[in-house]
Every structure is written in C-alpha cells, then in structure tokens.
Amino acid sequence: MQEIISVLFSGFGENLRIFALTLAMAIPLGLVITFGSMTKFKPVRWLTRTFVWIIRGTPLMLQLFVVLYAPGLLFGIPMRDRMAATLVAFVINYAAYFSEIYRGGIESIPKGQYEAGAVLGMTRRQVFFKVVLLQVIKRIVPSMGNEVITLVKDTSLARVIGVAEIIMVAERYTKQGLIGPLFSTGLYFLLFNGLLTLLLGRIERKMDYFRV
C-alpha cells in the first residue's frame, strides 16, 4: 500500500515537472508569439498566424510524436531525452494557446487608453507597461486559468512517448489485478487543480480593486 502511494507520488512528480516547466517557459514565449502575430510587418504576421493555426489545429499527442521522432528520422540526430521532447512539444503548444489569449486581451483594451497615455507624453513602452499591461492581465486571468487547469490534465499525455507519469505507472498495477491505484490517480489531479483554483481565485480577487 505504502509502496503504491510512493510510486504514484513519484509518477505525479513527473506530471508536476512538466506542468511547472511548461508554464514557466510558455508564458513568456507566448508573449513573443503575440508580438509576432500583431506586428505590422505582414510576412512575420502571416508566418506566426499560420504557425499558431497548425499548433492549435493538430493534436498535442501528434506533436509529441513529431518532436520525439522527427529529429532522428529526418536529420539523423535521435532525440534520446523523452522528458526534453515532452517539454518542447508542451511549451510550443501552450505558448500558441497563450499567445491567442494575450492577443485577445491586448486587442480588447480601448484605443483611448493608448491615446490618453500618448497625449501625456508617455513613450510606447511606458504606455504598454504602465497603462495597458495590468488591464490586459486582469482581463486574461480567467481564460489563462482554464488553460492552466487543462495543462495539469494534459501532462498525462506524456506517457505516449514513454514518460513515466502517474497514469502510466498506475496502469501497471492493473496487471496485478488492482484497479484502485488507477482510480486514485484522479485524486491527485483533483487535489492539485483544487489548489490551483483557489490560487487563481486569489489572483482575481487581488485585482478586484479596479474595473476594466
């Protein structure tokens, strides 16, 4: 029993690792993609938007396989680190989703806010960071919350390329006739997402002091 719990825990550790590293990298990378998809320079804009369309339009599972196998089969440099492959696929996938949320948030800020900053002699950078950014953050927290919770559950997809995450290790017990471990993995996800929901609620409340 104790052994099962500690095996599941170490499995869930993999899920959390994918989760945390993906978030840490996809949040800033998403912003870079946003700027690409909003630039006035058309080739970059269309390239970025096509990229986002492909990433959002194909299964994450397929992307995991592509990242794992493409380097070896196409270029003769096999990808040996399965965790690294997982992270590359997850970061790209989530950055694409985040970038669209950011873009929606930025485009929802009224033009008057930019103009008010401009006539007060602010630079474009100052307008973005001092005036617009916090309003964007407030607007996107609910949609980002959804994505973050989806990400927690998506981490179990890593098993398709052999990362020993919690569902993969729990499934092994079914061969011993045990279904309990597999069922109990749901509790790990539920508990962790419960914590995240509380945290997200706190962030939303922190920005309750103003309206956009």
Partner 1 sequence: MMAILEVSNIGKSFGKTEVLTDISFSLEKGESLAIIGSSGSGKTTLLRCLNFLETPDQGTIRVGDEVIFDASRTEKLSNEELRKNRLHFGLVFQNFNLFPQYTAFRNVTLAGELLAKERPDYKANKTVILEEIREHGRELLASVGLSAKADNYPHQLSGGQQQRVAIARALALNPDILCFDEPTSALDPELTGEVLNVIRSLASKKTTMIIVTHEMGFARQVADNVLFMDKGFVVEYGSPADVIDNPKHERTKRFLENYTNA
Using CB under 8 A, list all residues that contact partner 1. 110, 112-113, 115-124, 126, 130-131, 134-135, 138, 209-212
How far apart, in whole angstroms, are the C-alpha atoms of residue 134 and residue 98? 16
Give the residue with the Cβ less far from partner 1, 43 or 112: 112
How far apart, in whole angstroms, are the C-alpha atoms of residue 203 and residue 97? 20
How far apart, in whole angstroms, are the C-alpha atoms of residue 136 and residue 102? 8
Q: In the bound complex, what is the minimum distance in angstroms from residue 212's beta carbon to partner 1?
A: 5
User: At residue 204, what is the residue type?
Assistant: E
How far apart, in whole angstroms, are the C-alpha atoms of residue 19 and residue 1? 27
Give the residue with the Cβ less far from partner 1, 113 or 184: 113
CB atoms within 10 A of CB 73: 12
Q: In the bound complex, what is the minimum distance in angstroms from residue 110's beta carbon to partner 1?
A: 8
Q: In the bound complex, what is the minimum distance in angstroms from residue 23's beta carbon to partner 1?
A: 24
Q: In the bound complex, what is the minimum distance in angstroms from residue 99's beta carbon to partner 1?
A: 23
Give the residue with the Cβ less far from partner 1, 41 or 209: 209
The helix (run of H) or strand (run of E) holding residue 45 is helix 42-57
CB atoms within 10 A of CB 202: 9
Give the residue with the Cβ less far from partner 1, 35 or 192: 35
Give the residue with the Cβ less far from partner 1, 63 or 135: 135
Q: In the bound complex, what is the minimum distance in angstroms from residue 132's beta carbon to partner 1?
A: 9
User: At residue 100, what is the residue type?
Assistant: E
Q: Closest by alpha carbon to 33, among 113, 122, 102?
A: 102
How far apart, in whole angstroms, are the C-alpha atoms of residue 79 and residue 69? 7
Q: In the bound complex, what is the minimum distance in angstroms from residue 137's beta carbon to partner 1?
A: 10
Give the residue with the Cβ less far from partner 1, 130 or 153: 130
